[in-house]
Structure 1
Amino acid sequence: MQDSKTPDPSPSQSSYFTYPVTYAVNGLLRRLAAEPSLSSSNSHASASTSMSPPTSLSQSLQSLASSTTASASSMMDSVFAPPPRRKASPFQPPPLTPLSLKGYKSSTREKGKLLSKALAEEIRLLVPPRLQLVDDWSLVYSLEQNGVSLATLYQKAEEFTGKRGGFVLVVRDAGGGIFGAYLSDAPKPSSHFFGNGECFLWRAHVLPSLPDLANLPPPPSADTTNAVRMTTIASPTHKFGTLNPPHSEQASRSGTSTPERIRFKAFPYSGINDYMMFCEHGFLSVGGGDGHYGLWLGDNLENGVSSTCPTFGNEPLSDEGTKFEVLGVELWYIGS
């Protein structure tokens, strides 16, 4: 047997393997040799730059102080000239045309009509602008004309489902109070809340008329030596206020003027929750949260509930308290 010997690597092969190692070592040595000089130059540069900012900063502060002092002295010496006032635009939107309430039958009693033009004008100012231009309101449902049934109200309102209009719900309680809500959608039975932030609750009542100053007794300091006895007979009062404006031949033609003896209060959407409208076959409700309804009506439209609710932050709408007896209900449609 012959001994096997490993062949010696050729010079070309050894140089092939040693060249990269030599190149890497030489590069590393050059890198280490260059770092001290680079670090020393960087330290000198940083030292020079760190010394320069204080000088420039002090100079800038001095120049700023001098300029501020000069400007302040010049402002004190000069005469104040107010800026020119902007002129109001001569173009004003036209007044709203008076409303027309359509839907009452000729046989409907006056005390059975809940919504007057004066009250409708107050509500009109709070509805969306696109609906303020509508001057014809249509009666959808009336307890006086259509009977006592929430199902009938739903059936009458179904005709307007899907239209870009609004609805005004009007309620009268046993104490003669008038209140209600503006609804962005037609009331209908649903398994969830619906409506948007355009909804709001409202209430209104008639203020007592101001006494005639001519019939008031004279003050204590007045001379009553020759005074004669006068007796004032009060006018009869009515249980239910009609909220109708007093007749006047010089009434304004603008649709936004209302008599001062109507106090109107509205409660807009608060943004706390989205419980605007919730209706079932057994009840109709507007506003809710924390176990309270802003306005709730039963299926027979005989009893109702109104409490403070987070949706509108309202006060109870009825003066009778949280629970009230319903004597009248109307639903009006605003739109084309």
Structure 2
Amino acid sequence: MRSTLENIRVLYFATNCAEPYVQIITVNNSKRRQSVCSSEGSEVGESEDDLLPVLCDHSQLLDQRHLERLAAHVPARTQGYPWQLAYSTMVHGTSLKTLYRNMAGLDNPVLLVIRDMQNKVFGAFTTEPFKVSPSCYGTGETFIYSFSPDFKAYRWSGENSYFVRGHLESLQIGGGAGSFGLWLDADLYHGASYSCPTFRNLPLSTQQDFVVQHLEVWTLQN
């Protein structure tokens, strides 16, 4: 089957997707949706750069190393598509309520990225935007991750379905047995990460109770 070629903007830290600083490269369209982790059906000489996301805004937290590891772990259906900054504490202030408001009306998977006061980077990928909900939401594609010190992704254990729960006063990701995989308060300032049955994870930060230095939420658009 003949594959098609497609021009894709690939400049990871452009401030706006429409600016002329975006580099245009031509890649095989069949590669765009392929997982970096997959060896089956991969083409010789394939570059991981072909699968890196296009960041439509500047990130204070994500560098090339972060992008390479995260791009390999998000679902294949989201790979190669633009990431749009939906919320940043440096841009929008520190308010969970504002975060929810910025998520309203969206219907895309999101990536939460946190850097704490110990300069540790960690977060979560969820299949639905964050919102206030009377019950848990999300799917088994949800995972939490940490770069502390090496990259580790904790996927769904199958033990429960406590993926995400949004309250006005807190955001909870993962749970069970009285603990949360990742928890943030209403000011997005204090957080906690404990081992939880949903992901059977280790704490994401070097301290189970941490203080947020900076936080970003990206929507993965398709």
Q: TM-score, normalised by structure 2?
A: 0.76
Match of 2:73 among 118, 123, 126: 126
Could you tell me which runs of 5 or more consecutive residues in structure 2 were left unpaired when the two chains were aligned: 1-39
1:241-295 CA distances to partner (integer Å, 9 max, x unpaired)? Answer: xxxxxxxxxxxxxxxxxxxxxx211100000000000011111110000000000
For 1:293-304, list aligned pairs within 5 A: 293-304=180-191
Provide the residue aligned with 1:332 in structure 2: 218
1:139 to 85, 90, 107: 85
**Corresponding residue number in structure 1 for 2:57:** 103
Work out the number of aligned pairs and report it: 181
Q: TM-score, normalised by structure 1?
A: 0.51
Deviating beyond 6 angstroms after TM superposition, the runs of 4 or more aligned structure 1 residues are: none
Query: Counterpart of 1:173 in structure 2: which amino acid?
Result: D
CA contact (8 A) 1:100 1:117 kept: no
Q: Does 1:311 align with 2:191?
A: no
Percent pairwise identity? 34
Structure 2 residue corresponding to 1:151, chosen from 86, 90, 97: 97
SS of residue matched to 2:97: helix
Once the two structures are superposed, residues 193-245 of structure 1 have per-residue CA deviations (whole angstroms, 9 ceiling, x without a partner) of 00000000100046xxxxxxxxxxxxxxxxxxxxxxxxxxxxxxxxxxxxxxx
CA contact (8 A) 1:293 1:309 kept: yes
The structure showing larger relative contact order (alpha-carbon pairs under 8 Å, at least 6 residues apart) is 1
Tell me the residue number matched to 1:258. none
Q: Provide the rounded CA distance (Å) in 1 between the counterparts of 2:182 and 2:191.
A: 7
What residue number does 2:16 align with? Answer: none
The 3 A distance-change label for structure 1 pair 315 and 152 is same
Please give the per-residue CA displacement for 1:101-131, whole angstroms capped at 9, x wherever unaligned.
2223xxxxxxx81122320221111111111
Task: Map Cα deviations across residues 66-101 of structure 1 (whole Å, 9 max, x no partner).
Answer: xxxxxxxxxxxxxxxxxxxxxxx9873854524322
Amino acid paired to 1:99: P
Could you tell me how far 1:156 is from its partner in structure 2?
0.8
Q: Name whichever structure is richer in helix by fraction.
A: 1
Higher strand share: 2
Q: From the CA coordinates, give the structure whose radius of gyration is larger.
A: 1
Name 1:46's counterpart in structure 2: none
Q: Is the 8 A contact 1:101 1:117 kept in 2?
A: no
What aligned pairs does 1:63-102 form with structure 2 within 5 A after superposition? 92=43, 95=47, 97=50, 98-102=52-56
> 1 CA distance for matches of 2:124 and 2:191?
14
Tell me if the contact between 1:166 and 1:183 (Cα under 8 Å) persists in the aligned partners.
yes
Aligned match for 1:197, one of 131, 134, 140: 140
